[in-house]
Amino acid sequence: MTLDASLVGYQTRWFEHRLDARWSMAYAAALDDVRPCYFDDTAGALAVHPVFPVCLEWPALVDSLGANGVDMRRTVHATHDLELLGPLSPPRDVRSRATVIGVEQRRPGIYLGWRFDTVDADGRPLARTWQGNLFLGETLHGPARWDEVLPHRDPLPLAAPSHLTLRAVAGLAHTYTECARIWNPLHTEMAVAAAAGMARPPLHGTATLALVVSALVGHCLGGDPRRVRRLGGRFNALVMLPCTLDLAWEDAPAAGRLRFEVRDVDGGRAIRDGFLDYLPRDTVDDRHRPRPA
């Protein structure tokens, strides 16, 4: 695979989606997050899981690689920073596009950065994501280049965290693939994983992140996902299924932020430098309340 700085600056077309209840419900169900706000459409507009925008961004990511002859089967998710800017309650017509903002060589391989923008039918921002992926074992041809700096947060140790056990079942990668409509055979096919040097397919990084967000919404935010404003972290180790994960979190000194990390049974950090920014209870503003479609 040949990958160099010429890819930086590539921008996809807008990909149009019909965000309906079937899709948003399926995403929450894949995570076994069955709180009524995602499913009970008799009580008003449905909520959408805070990590759901990754589903809308996926076709643009695939396009940005395929149009430039880059094989996605050797890439793993490395970093994620998702900012929620407006309501995503179904039914809603939305559009997403990707812009490649940078590339550099790192020890495990080539690190490629994107910015994803999602807007409603009138062009109003709904979500913005800065994402980085690693192409394992690959060497960058030529110098690094960044057109936009990825957001940075200084890592801080968790001094006195709370803990919660998360369990990911054996079939989660396949269920998540179909419900999210995110398909990379690296996560579901043994042969593809083996070709990338892995013993078996790993769980999607966004699935691990979504499990964490579901837990934090339930335990820290009163079960109200509309309070989530921004979330992300670094995917530090592959998660192999089935598995038991330890989620550790604490409130940051600044109000409205949870910091977290996720470790596997061997103590390896699946997610480090995790964060979730949130609105105070009962202060969800109109920007985050569902609007009629």
- Along the 293 residues of the chain, how does pLDDT read in single tens digits? 678 999 999 999 999 999 999 999 999 999 999 999 999 999 789 999 999 999 999 999 999 999 999 888 778 899 999 999 999 999 999 999 999 999 999 999 999 999 999 999 999 999 999 999 999 889 999 999 999 988 888 888 898 899 999 999 999 999 999 999 999 998 999 999 898 888 889 999 999 999 999 999 999 999 999 999 999 999 999 899 999 999 999 987 667 999 999 998 878 899 999 999 999 886 665 444 443 33
Bridge partners (DSSP) of residue 168 are 243
Distance, CA of 120 to CA of 19 (rounded, Å):
10
C-alpha distances in Å from residue 33, one per residue of 30, 48, 59, 75, 217: 8, 11, 24, 28, 10
Distance, CA of 159 to CA of 90 (rounded, Å):
39
The pLDDT value recorded for residue 226 is 95
Residues ≥6 apart with Cβ < 8 Å to 30: 172, 175, 176, 178, 179, 180, 207
Cβ atoms within 10 Å of 112's Cβ, excluding its own: 25
The pLDDT value recorded for residue 171 is 95
Report the 3 state secondary structure along 131-187. EEEEEECCCCECCCEECCCCCCCCCCCCCCCEEEEEEECCCHHHHHHHHHCCCCHHH
Helices and strands (H, E) in the chain, number of each type: 5, 11
Class of residue 197 by CB neighbours under 10 A (exposed 0-12, middle 13-18, buried 19+): exposed
Distance, CA of 43 to CA of 51 (rounded, Å):
22
Tokens of 23: 């899709």
The pLDDT value recorded for residue 1 is 65
The pLDDT value recorded for residue 252 is 73
The pLDDT value recorded for residue 267 is 81
Residue type, 267: G
The pLDDT value recorded for residue 77 is 92
- Domains detected in the chain: 5-288 (3.10.129.10)
